Amino acid sequence: MSRQPVVTPRGDDFPRWYQDVIAKAELAENGPVRGSMVIRPAGYALWERMQGEVDARIKAAGAQNAYFPLLIPESYLRREAEHVEGFSPELAVVTIGGGKQLEEPLVVRPTSETVIGEYMAKWVQSYRDLPLLLNQWANVLRWELRPRLFLRTTEFLWQEGHTAHATEEDARAYARRILHEVYEDFMVGVLGIPVTAGRKTARERFAGATSTYTLEAMMGDGKALQMGTSHELGQNFAKAFGIEYSSVRGTREHAWTTSWGSTTRMIGGMVMVHGDDGGLRVPPLLAPTQVLVCVVKDGDGVHDAARRLVEEIERAGVRVALDTRTDTPFGRRAVDAELKGFPLRIEIGPRDLGEGRVVLVRRLDGSKTPTPIDAVTDRVTEMLSADQRGLYEAAREHRDARTVEVKTLDEAVEVAATGWARVPWAAVGTAGETRLNAQGLTVRCLVRADGGVPDSEDEPDLVALVARAY
């Protein structure tokens, strides 16, 4: 039975498919101001789950949450030369407060290195105060001329970590710990997204950083998305803001700082990695609702059986919801459940129930499994766990199939039209990067031949990952 597609087919027009899915799954819509975004309950529920998972990992890495002001004196930004240069074109500026013209304009934070640097300088006195490990969940603003929901919006939600350490080695180790133990672990383990950890080239570094580490993921159209970054800031901010400590030997030293962030952009990444022509496919470990129990049709004992099933599944620690809207045609509800990407749907109707069973429908592949009602909970937990792996494996196969090892810049340009090129960094270099940029391509990151993350872009035998990017 063919039916009208509910969203633009992904293969026909990927950007339009993305827009359709975001709209039809009711994740978000454009805000009233260009570049702004309204995150609807279904989208925000995903963010809450992401927050919970990332926050637990941040706390396990020893950082504490705090909150710093939204408005930053413009003069703070000017203290670190590269930082102000990087952010100036994107700033929103408050010039009127309480009905009066302000003496000093206030910047709406594009990121909080400067204001947090100011306070770290007060709080850090001695080596005993280090490391100082802070994190903040907040909104930030970066004026965006070509907005796209979740991927590039003028306002977005994120966490930003800011830490100060006694030595460069400590700072580096912590920036990398966050990259791997917080971000990579979450993205691979919960989002089911294979990510490539690497080092940004000098050109692609965060404004004011000495090293930027990144996690790059391949989207369904072969483009790359930067999923999270962790920066070593050297002593740049410590010098600009006076973050000094007295060492064990009694000397005064500048601290070494890091910063690291992950944003609502991850929602867009999750959509573009796992989504298909039916809409969203949400990885079970992330899904706010893992199982939707649908009453297909009213009938003897159906509603009671559905409620009992929900209770039983819930007791097994599974997040489950109940759909009893039998006044809406079942077909429409099934399409809607697919759009919204619930990992598992359980269809319960009078006929099947009469035979003691229900039907389990997996969002991963649409397969339908008639299941005796007393075996449902076991099957549910097995399927959720198998489908979490299934989504990850599919994404990994897709990425590997569209990644090609090449030798020259020309080959890299060709490959990157549809996927990722891995090319020797020696064959690219700064001049090569300029050529790539002119064609809408970037070096997403540098990696060692063995997959490790380089300490410097001058290491021998590095591989550059070249791709189009969001």
Spatial neighbors of 67 by CB under 8 A, at least 6 apart, are 136, 138
Q: How many positions of this chain bind its own copies (CB under 8 A)?
A: 54
Type of residue numbered 465: L
Facing residues of 156 across strands?
140
Q: How far is the CB of 36 from its own copies (least distance, A)?
A: 4
| CA 190 – CA 192 distance, rounded (Å) | 5
Axis crossing angle, helix 376-401 with helix 302-315, rounded to the nearest 10? 70
Which region, judged by CB under 8 A, interacts with its own copies, from 154-162, 403-411, 428-436, 460-468?
154-162
Among 8, 19, 36, 326, binds its own copies (CB under 8 A): 36
| CA 396 – CA 130 distance, rounded (Å) | 39
Spatial neighbors of 257 by CB under 8 A, at least 6 apart, are 113, 117, 120, 162, 163, 164, 165, 171, 233, 234, 235, 236, 237, 238, 243
461 forms part of the interface with its own copies (CB under 8 A): no
When the beta carbons of 157 and 464 are compared against its own copies, the nearer one is 157
Axis crossing angle, helix 265-274 with helix 376-401, rounded to the nearest 10? 90
Which region, judged by CB under 8 A, interacts with its own copies, from 45-53, 216-224, 270-278, 388-396?
45-53
Type of residue numbered 84: V
| CA 231 – CA 2 distance, rounded (Å) | 50
Among 8, 19, 23, 45, binds its own copies (CB under 8 A): 45
When the beta carbons of 211 and 264 are compared against its own copies, the nearer one is 264
Q: How far is the CB of 341 from its own copies (least distance, A)?
A: 17
When the beta carbons of 108 and 413 are compared against its own copies, the nearer one is 108
| CA 390 – CA 386 distance, rounded (Å) | 6
32 forms part of the interface with its own copies (CB under 8 A): yes
HEC assignment per residue over 208-227: CCCEEEEEEEECCCCCEEEE
Q: How far is the CB of 65 from its own copies (least distance, A)?
A: 5
Q: How far is the CB of 160 from its own copies (least distance, A)?
A: 14
DSSP 8-state symbol, 453: P
| CA 185 – CA 355 distance, rounded (Å) | 44
Among 119, 411, 429, 459, binds its own copies (CB under 8 A): 119
Q: Long-range contacts for 304-313 (Cβ within 8 Å, ≥24 apart)?
A: 305/348, 305/353, 305/373, 306/348, 309/346, 309/348, 309/358, 309/373, 309/376, 312/376, 312/377, 313/376, 313/377, 313/380
33 forms part of the interface with its own copies (CB under 8 A): yes
When the beta carbons of 48 and 300 are compared against its own copies, the nearer one is 48
When the beta carbons of 11 and 62 are compared against its own copies, the nearer one is 62
When the beta carbons of 66 and 375 are compared against its own copies, the nearer one is 66
143 forms part of the interface with its own copies (CB under 8 A): yes
Spatial neighbors of 52 by CB under 8 A, at least 6 apart, are none
Among 19, 23, 78, 105, binds its own copies (CB under 8 A): 105
115 forms part of the interface with its own copies (CB under 8 A): yes
Q: Are 126 and 246 in contact (CB under 8 A)?
A: yes
Which region, judged by CB under 8 A, interacts with its own copies, from 97-105, 189-197, 386-394, 395-403?
97-105
Among 21, 108, 287, 302, binds its own copies (CB under 8 A): 108
40 forms part of the interface with its own copies (CB under 8 A): yes
Among 21, 134, 272, 364, binds its own copies (CB under 8 A): 134
For residue 157, count other CB atoms closer than 10 A to its CB.
19
Among 14, 17, 18, 44, binds its own copies (CB under 8 A): 44
Among 11, 12, 38, 414, binds its own copies (CB under 8 A): 38
Rounded to 5 degrees, φ, ψ at 165 are -135, 160
65 forms part of the interface with its own copies (CB under 8 A): yes
Q: How far is the CB of 30 from its own copies (least distance, A)?
A: 10
Radius of gyration for the chain, computed over Cα atoms and rounded to the nearest angstrom: 25
When the beta carbons of 53 and 118 are compared against its own copies, the nearer one is 118
What's the maximum distance between 2 C-alpha atoms anywhere in the chain? Answer: 81
Spatial neighbors of 131 by CB under 8 A, at least 6 apart, are 62, 163, 164, 165, 166, 170, 174
When the beta carbons of 29 and 169 are compared against its own copies, the nearer one is 29
| CA 466 – CA 223 distance, rounded (Å) | 10
Among 157, 302, 384, 447, binds its own copies (CB under 8 A): 157
When the beta carbons of 69 and 372 are compared against its own copies, the nearer one is 69
Which region, judged by CB under 8 A, interacts with its own copies, from 150-158, 172-180, 272-280, 440-448?
150-158
Among 7, 37, 58, 166, binds its own copies (CB under 8 A): 37
126 forms part of the interface with its own copies (CB under 8 A): no
Site for its own copies in 431-460 (CB under 8 A): none
Residues lying near its own copies in the complex (CB under 8 A): 29, 31-33, 36-41, 43-45, 47-48, 64-73, 76, 88-99, 105-106, 108, 115, 118-119, 134, 138-139, 141, 143-145, 154-155, 157
